[in-house]
Amino acid sequence: MDLASIDHLLTTTRSVRKRLDLTRPVDLKVVQECIDLAIQAPDGGNRGSYHFLVVTDTAKRAAIAAYYRKSFAAYLEARKEDYATRIYDSAAHLADHFAEVPMQIITCTEGRVETGGAMMQAARYGSVLPATWSLMLALRSRGIGAAWTTLHLAYEKEIAELLGIPDNMTQGALLPVAYYTGEDFKPGKRIPGAERTYFDSWAATR
Ligand SMILES: Cc1cc2nc3c(=O)[nH]c(=O)nc-3n(C[C@H](O)[C@H](O)[C@H](O)COP(=O)(O)O)c2cc1C
């Protein structure tokens, strides 16, 4: 394997918000190719419980964006003090321009996560979230940016009605998707993995 390219992809696939090209439609064929790659991710029981709803319709994107913006405003109001400025700028920019992003992808999993204990919840989310991340990686490898978002879920039911999503589906993430501008991305700032890796007992690091 070409480790340099793979490591670069894994370390530089960012939440793209300010660098989404709002003027260029996203090639549907490329997106389908990325979805086909993404579904190689693990999926509980290999049942194909993942679903991807690609939204390009202008009125529907605007309606979803309005819900997103409303939820963002409420979220911000509740957490303004501890919200890091850099993320705030970027997140506010996305909220302001959400409707203009040429494509939105909502990933869904079969079954409602509220019905069932931790095992079923993990199985349901686990059947779509790995594929959602793989989709972001595949898109990035083809010059397309996305941001993992969940704020729309404050209006999950309303959005389900708008798009005809059946009652037994749980939405996982909403990705605003567009070609990115500029050349490259840098690795993100993270708490080092070694500080979060334990051996044999909780919090026992080496
Ligand atoms: C479960 C989850 C929910 C998220 N929800 C949102 C969101 O609603 N809006 C947003 O702008 N970013 C959202 N993010 C993106 C995070 O803010 C982002 O991943 C984090 O700040 C790290 O930045 P990076 O993805 O660029 O490395 C979410 C990420 C995850 C994993």
Q: What is the DSSP string of 129-184?
A: HHHHHHHHHHHHHTTEEE--B-GGGGGHHHHHHHHT--TTEEEEEEEEEEEBPSS-
Q: Which whole-number Å values give the CA distances from 96 to 17, 68, 146, 176, in the listed order?
A: 10, 10, 16, 12
Q: Has this prediction a pTM greater than 0.95?
A: yes
| pLDDT tens track for 18-71 | 999 999 999 999 999 999 999 999 999 999 999 999 999 999 999 999 999 999
Alpha carbon of 148 to ligand 1 centroid (Å): 5
CA distance 181 to 146: 12
74 Cβ closer than 6 Å to some ligand 1 atom: no
| pLDDT tens track for 86-145 | 678 899 999 999 999 999 999 999 999 999 899 999 999 999 999 999 999 999 999 999
Q: Quick one: which of 89, 53, 68, 55 has its CA closest to 151?
A: 68
Determine contact, residues 39/50, Cβ cutoff 8 Å: yes
Task: State percent of the chain over pLDDT 70.
Answer: 98
Q: Which of 70, 93, 94, 149 to mutate to test the pocket of ligand 1 (most atoms within 8 A of CB)?
A: 149
Q: Fold for 3-183, please state it.
A: NADH Oxidase (3.40.109)
Q: Quick one: which of 31, 40, 93 has its CA closest to 68?
A: 93
61 Cβ closer than 6 Å to some ligand 1 atom: no
The dihedrals phi and psi of 17, each to the nearest 5 degrees, come to -125, -55
12 Cβ closer than 6 Å to some ligand 1 atom: no
177, amino acid identity: V
Alpha carbon of 102 to ligand 1 centroid (Å): 19
Higher pLDDT, 167 or 85: 167
What strands lie across the sheet with 169-179, from one edge to the other? 50-55, 103-110, 169-179, 144-146
Q: Name the residue with the closest Cα to ligand 1, atom 1.
A: 150
pLDDT at residue number 206: 85
143 Cβ closer than 6 Å to some ligand 1 atom: no
pLDDT at residue number 83: 66
Determine contact, residues 171/165, Cβ cutoff 8 Å: yes
pLDDT at residue number 194: 96
